[in-house]
Amino acid sequence: MASRRPAIDTWFAVSDEDPLAGRRRSSLLSRLVFGMTGAISIALGAWLLSSGADRNLGVALVAAGLIRFAGISLEMRGHPGIGFAVAALTGAVLYAAAMLDLGGEAGLQVWALLLVGMPPLIMGPQHGRLRPIVFIGNAAIVAAVEVATRLTPPRVVLPPEVLSAVRGCNLAATVVVMAVLVVAYRRLLDRAADHLAAERKLSERLLANILPGPIALRLKREENPIADEHEAVTVMFADMVNFTEFAAQHPAAEVVNRLNSLFQAFDDMVERRGLEKIKTIGDAYMVAGGLPQARADHAEAVAALALEMLAFVEALARDTGRAVAMRVGMHSGRLVAGVIGKHKFSYDVWGDTVNTAARLETAGEPGRIHISEATRRALGPGWAVEPRGRIALKGLGEVPSYFLLGRAAA
């Protein structure tokens, strides 16, 4: 449910890269603050007790320091809210007692800055709704004590030299606490920034593996929808022959490993030639040339890729003795490309060019590259083809097609 106090919630919020890191950072800072102030409280209390300047306040300081360490122990034992509340309330009560005991001349007001300002900064998600409660409660105590010290004299009158020493100790202690806290907070923020940068690089790398670079940039600019018309593109479908039967007869791990090794090799070939892998569909591999950026040699680049893929599969069959074969279909023409989906989105292509390439692959022969008349024209005279004659393709009727043999002899 949306908050009714967005401004207040924003002020009290602890910005972080993720909730778990926020909890760890908050726990570290709170232990640091309470540990330092607890040690200072014990040390100052022991000095007051040994000097006899103010035994009641000395006992209170030592007790408050021990209670703060107990609060740290509670937080470490899985009770962060209770531990923080105990430590924070101890500080407020101790501040009130010290101010009423020694008055405003002891320089205790510097602790009010830590008392009011620090808890909202170091409290994290694990402290729940305590953040505004602690802030308002501590601010109210500081205000009430300030009024009380102006209306009533201090209960303990210290000699001027002792009062001066107490003022110096308070000032020095708060400076040390603030300095250590600032350094620690700065280092934690730097680590959070490094973590965010690493996560951003990872997300961008993952996005680059899903989408073409220019499309990823448009998506990050929140362009929607992403749909482009391309006039000259060559689409290739490559399908592993009889792989369905192989998958039915072998363990899942072996099936996935064999297909993965093939497709990883194909991925390297596609990347090296600057083409675009569109997707895999089962044991079929789909590639396009001429998008998302147009290129004049789209047919030649895809044809060279098809020949390299076919040679790779044939070499694999010879080396392993396995019955591995691939059927390829290619067609060139106009299509539409874009990003579809809200979750698990993908870059895809649509149109007759895609359907024709898929049907040419289905109507092809193992170990051969089946191309259309349009692709033959796009390749030009520098490529050798074998006419297959007219074949019937679903939705297209009888059309001429060819088998691509390779580059024509010079």
Question: Residue 220 domain-assigned?
Answer: no
Question: Residue 221 domain-assigned?
Answer: no
pLDDT above 90: residue 145: no
Question: Residue 212 domain-assigned?
Answer: no
Question: Residue 210 domain-assigned?
Answer: no
- Quick: pLDDT tens for 211-258: 777 777 777 777 777 778 999 999 999 998 888 777 778 788 888 888
pLDDT above 90: residue 85: no
Higher pLDDT, residue 300 or 192: 300
pLDDT above 50: residue 5: no
Q: Where do we find the tokens 């675009």?
A: 276
Question: Residue 209 domain-assigned?
Answer: no
Are residues 19 and 142 located together in one domain of the fold?
yes
Rg (CA), the chain: 37
DSSP string, 115-144: HHHHHHHH--GGGTTHHHHHHHHHHHHHHH
pLDDT band at 14 (very low <50, low <70, confident <90, very high): very low
CA distance 280 to 277: 8
Which residues partner with 239 through β-bridges? 284, 327
Are residues 278 and 135 located together in one domain of the fold?
no
Are residues 293 and 387 located together in one domain of the fold?
yes
Structure confidence at residue 371 (pLDDT): 93
Are residues 137 and 27 located together in one domain of the fold?
yes
Are residues 191 and 248 located together in one domain of the fold?
no
pTM across the whole model: 0.58
Separation of CA 230 from chain center: 34
Are residues 59 and 141 located together in one domain of the fold?
yes
Are residues 133 and 59 located together in one domain of the fold?
yes
Are residues 233 and 361 located together in one domain of the fold?
yes
CA distance 83 to 75: 5
Question: Residue 215 domain-assigned?
Answer: no
Are residues 200 and 232 located together in one domain of the fold?
no
Question: Residue 214 domain-assigned?
Answer: no
Higher pLDDT, residue 10 or 370: 370
Structure confidence at residue 20 (pLDDT): 47
Higher pLDDT, residue 308 or 200: 308
pLDDT band at 26 (very low <50, low <70, confident <90, very high): low
Average pLDDT over residues 270-285: 89
Tally of structural domains, the chain: 2
Higher pLDDT, residue 410 or 298: 298
Are residues 123 and 265 located together in one domain of the fold?
no
Are residues 11 and 112 located together in one domain of the fold?
yes
> Percent of the chain, pLDDT > 90?
22
Structure confidence at residue 300 (pLDDT): 94
Question: Residue 234 domain-assigned?
Answer: yes
Average pLDDT over residues 327-332: 94
Where in the sequence is the domain holding 256, given as residue range(s)? 228-407
Are residues 284 and 198 located together in one domain of the fold?
no
Q: Where do we find the tokens 């790398």?
A: 205
CATH classification of the domain holding 335: 3.30.70.1230
